[in-house]
Amino acid sequence: MGDSLITIVAIVLAAILMFVFPLMTMSDRSDDISQLTVETATTEFVDNVRTTGKLSLADYSAYEQRISATGNSYDIELEAQILDENPGKKTTQANSTKIGENVYYSMYTSQILDTISSDTTSTLAFKEGDIFSASAKNKSTTLSQQFKNFFYSVTGNDIYTIAAEHAGYVTANGSGN
Amino acid sequence: MKIQYLAVVFIIIMLPISLVYSEYVKAQVETLQLQISYDTKLDNATSDAIKAFQLNTINSSTSDLSNSKIRDIEAAANSFFTSVATLFNMSGYNSDVLKEYVPALVFTLYDGFYIYSPFENTLDEETINGIKPGSTYTGAPGEEVTGLKPYIYYSCRYIKGSTDVVITYSLDNYITIQGTSNGHTISDAGYLLDNVSYNETTGSVRYRGIEITTETQLSEYISGTKYNYVKINGVKYYLDSDGSWFTILNGRKNSGQGPFRDEDNDMAYRYYKEAYEFKQRLQSYGITNLTSADAVNQNGEHLSALTDEDGNVIYDFVNGNYKIFNFDGIEEPDSDFNQHRLSVIRYVIESNLSVALANYNNYGTGSYEFRMPKLAEEDWDRILNNVSLISFLQGLSIGGKIYNGYSVINNNKNEEVVTEDSIYIVPDINNDNDSYHRVTDKDLTVNSNSRGVFNIDFERKSIATDSSETTYYYYPHRQLGCYNCYVAQTNVVTVSNIYQYLDSHSDIAKVYYTALGRERYSMYKSFRNPEEHLNQFK
Assign residue B197 a region: left if phi > 0, alpha if psi is -120 to 50, beta otherwise? beta
Q: Mutation test of the interface with chain A: which of B33, B172, B489, B491, choosing the one with the most A Cβ atoms within 10 A?
A: B489
Domain of A9? 2-169
Q: State the Cα–Cα distance between residues B75 and B54, nearest whole angstrom.
A: 11
Question: Average pLDDT in the B140-150 region?
Answer: 77
- Determine the length of chain B: 538
Q: Do A21 and B11 lie within an 8 Å CB cutoff?
A: yes
Could you tell me which of B404, B400, B402, B401 has the C-alpha nearest to residue B23? B400
Q: Which range is least confidently modeled, B27-41, B270-284, B336-350, B510-524?
A: B27-41
Q: State the Cα–Cα distance between residues B408 and B42, nearest whole angstrom.
A: 9
The residue of chain A with its CA nearest to that of B14 is A22
Q: What are phi and psi of B47, to 5 degrees?
A: -75, -25
Question: Average pLDDT in the B528-534 region?
Answer: 84
Q: pLDDT tens-digit profile of A126-136?
A: 988 899 999 99
More confident residue, A99 or B192: B192
pLDDT at B66: 75
The residue of chain A with its CA nearest to that of B455 is A173
CA distance B43 to chain A (A): 9
Q: Which residues of B touch A169 (CB under 8 A)?
A: 44, 47
pLDDT at A100: 79
Banded model confidence at residue B69, pLDDT cuts 50, 70, 90: confident
Could you tell me which of B486, B477, B431, B434 has the C-alpha nearest to residue B458? B477
Q: How many whole angstroms from its chain centre is CA A77?
A: 7
pLDDT at B139: 61
Banded model confidence at residue A159, pLDDT cuts 50, 70, 90: confident
The answer as to whether A176 is a domain residue is no
Among positive and negative, which fits the CA dihedral B415, B416, B417, B421? negative
- Outline where B369-422 has alpha helix (H): 377-385
Please report, to the nearest 10 degrees, the dihedral formed by the alpha carbons of residues B306, B311, B312, B317 taken in order: 20
Cβ neighbourhood burial of B142 (10 Å; 0-12, 13-18, 19+)? exposed
Furthest-apart CA atoms within chain B: distance in Å? 112
Give the one of B6, B378, B475 whose C-beta lies nearest to A92's C-beta. Answer: B475
| Collapsed DSSP state (helix, strand, coil) of residue B1 | coil
pLDDT at B308: 80
Whether the pLDDT of residue A2 is over 70: the answer is no
| Collapsed DSSP state (helix, strand, coil) of residue B380 | helix
Could you tell me which of B477, B471, B461 has the C-alpha nearest to residue A97? B471
pLDDT at B191: 93
Q: Which residues of B touch A92 (CB under 8 A)?
A: 460, 473-475
Whether the pLDDT of residue A65 is over 90: the answer is yes
Q: Mutation test of the interface with chain A: which of B332, B473, B498, B505, choosing the one with the most A Cβ atoms within 10 A?
A: B473
Q: Which residues of B touch A43 (CB under 8 A)?
A: 36, 39-40
The residue of chain A with its CA nearest to that of B41 is A168
Query: What are the Cα distances from residue B361, in Å, to B93, B102, B119?
Result: 21, 11, 11
Q: State the Cα–Cα distance between residues B357 and B370, nearest whole angstrom.
A: 6
Give the mean pLDDT of chain A. 85
Whether the pLDDT of residue A118 is over 60: the answer is yes
Q: Do B25 and A22 lie within an 8 Å CB cutoff?
A: no
Q: pLDDT tens-digit profile of B399-413?
A: 878 888 999 888 888
pLDDT at A177: 47
Q: Which residues of A touch B495 (CB under 8 A)?
A: 176-177
Do residues A52 and A174 touch, judged by C-beta distance below 8 A? yes
CA distance A96 to chain B (A): 5
Query: What are the Cα distances from residue B481, in Å, to A105, B64, B335, B427, B488?
Result: 15, 27, 33, 12, 10
pLDDT at B115: 92
Q: Which residues of B touch A121 (CB under 8 A)?
A: 494
Give the one of B408, B410, B481 whose C-beta lies nearest to A85's C-beta. Answer: B481
Percent of chain B with pLDDT over 90: 22
Q: Do A90 and B6 lie within an 8 Å CB cutoff?
A: no
Give the one of B29, B224, B410 whose C-beta lies nearest to A172's C-beta. Answer: B410
CA distance B475 to chain A (A): 8
Among positive and negative, which fits the CA dihedral B173, B179, B183, B186? positive
Tell me which H or E stretch contains B232: strand B225-232
CA distance A160 to chain B (A): 19
Q: Do A99 and B408 lie within an 8 Å CB cutoff?
A: no
Q: pLDDT tens-digit profile of B369-404?
A: 777 888 888 888 888 888 899 999 988 888 878 888
Q: State the Cα–Cα distance between residues B387 and B411, nearest whole angstrom.
A: 5
The residue of chain B with its CA nearest to that of A41 is B36
Domain count, chain A: 1
Whether the pLDDT of residue A39 is over 50: the answer is yes
Do residues B479 and A117 touch, judged by C-beta distance below 8 A? no
The answer as to whether A36 is a domain residue is yes
Give the one of A14, A36, A92 whose C-beta lies nearest to B460's C-beta. Answer: A92
Q: State the Cα–Cα distance between residues B511 and B207, nearest whole angstrom.
A: 12
Could you tell me which of A130, A128, A131 has the C-alpha nearest to residue A165? A131
Whether the pLDDT of residue B44 is over 70: the answer is yes
pLDDT at B374: 83
Q: pLDDT tens-digit profile of B332-354?
A: 888 889 889 999 999 999 888 88
Question: Average pLDDT in the B288-299 region?
Answer: 86
pLDDT at A24: 84
Q: What are phi and psi of B445, to 5 degrees?
A: -125, 145
Q: Which residues of A touch B408 (CB under 8 A)?
A: 51
Whether the pLDDT of residue A145 is over 90: the answer is no
Could you tell me which of A85, A74, A83, A88 has the C-alpha nearest to residue A132? A83
Q: Which amino acid, residue B491? A: N
Q: Do A93 and B21 lie within an 8 Å CB cutoff?
A: no
The residue of chain B with its CA nearest to that of A125 is B489
The residue of chain B with its CA nearest to that of A93 is B474
Assign residue B372 a region: left if phi > 0, alpha if psi is -120 to 50, beta otherwise? beta
Q: Do A93 and B487 lie within an 8 Å CB cutoff?
A: no
Q: State the Cα–Cα distance between residues B235 and B189, nearest whole angstrom.
A: 20
Q: State the Cα–Cα distance between residues B458 and B452, nearest whole angstrom.
A: 12
Q: Which residues of B touch A56 (CB under 8 A)?
A: none
Q: Do A125 and B492 lie within an 8 Å CB cutoff?
A: yes
**How are beta strands B184-191 and B196-198 bridged, if at all?**
unpaired
Q: Do A36 and B28 lie within an 8 Å CB cutoff?
A: yes
Banded model confidence at residue B514, pLDDT cuts 50, 70, 90: very high
Q: State the Cα–Cα distance between residues B138 and A159, nearest whole angstrom.
A: 65
Q: State the Cα–Cα distance between residues B304 and B96, nearest whole angstrom.
A: 38
Q: pLDDT tens-digit profile of B451-494?
A: 999 988 998 888 877 666 788 888 899 899 999 888 888 888 88
Give the one of B4, B39, B487 whose C-beta lies nearest to A10's C-beta. Answer: B4
Give the one of B4, B50, B495 whose C-beta lies nearest to A177's C-beta. Answer: B495
CA distance B492 to chain A (A): 8
Whether the pLDDT of residue A99 is over 70: the answer is yes
pLDDT at B141: 66
| Collapsed DSSP state (helix, strand, coil) of residue B260 | coil
Q: Do B487 and A86 lie within an 8 Å CB cutoff?
A: yes
Q: Which residues pair with B235 in a beta bridge?
A: B232
Do residues B229 and B236 touch, judged by C-beta distance below 8 A? yes
Banded model confidence at residue A77, pLDDT cuts 50, 70, 90: very high
Among positive and negative, which fits the CA dihedral B456, B458, B461, B467? positive
Q: What are phi and psi of B452, to 5 degrees?
A: -90, 140
* Confidence check on the interface: ipTM exceeds 0.90, yes or no: no
Q: Which residues of A touch B382 (CB under 8 A)?
A: 51-52, 172
Q: How many whole angstroms from its chain centre is CA B131?
A: 32
Furthest-apart CA atoms within chain A: distance in Å? 96
Q: pLDDT tens-digit profile of B100-113?
A: 888 889 999 988 99
Q: Which range is least confidently modeled, B38-42, B125-129, B254-258?
A: B125-129
Q: Do B478 and A123 lie within an 8 Å CB cutoff?
A: no
| Domain ranges across chain B | 418-522
CA distance A99 to chain B (A): 7
Q: Do A171 and B224 lie within an 8 Å CB cutoff?
A: no
Residue A121 CB partners (closer than 8 Å, separation 6+): B494
Q: Do B440 and A177 lie within an 8 Å CB cutoff?
A: yes
Whether the pLDDT of residue B134 is over 60: the answer is no
Could you tell me which of B532, B500, B524, B538 has the C-alpha nearest to residue B208? B500
Q: Which residues of A touch B7 (CB under 8 A)?
A: 10, 13-14, 17-18
Instruction: Indicate the DSSP class of residue A103.
Output: E
Q: CA B396, B399, B404: angle at the middle one, nearest 5?
A: 35
Q: How many whole angstroms from its chain centre is CA A124?
A: 19
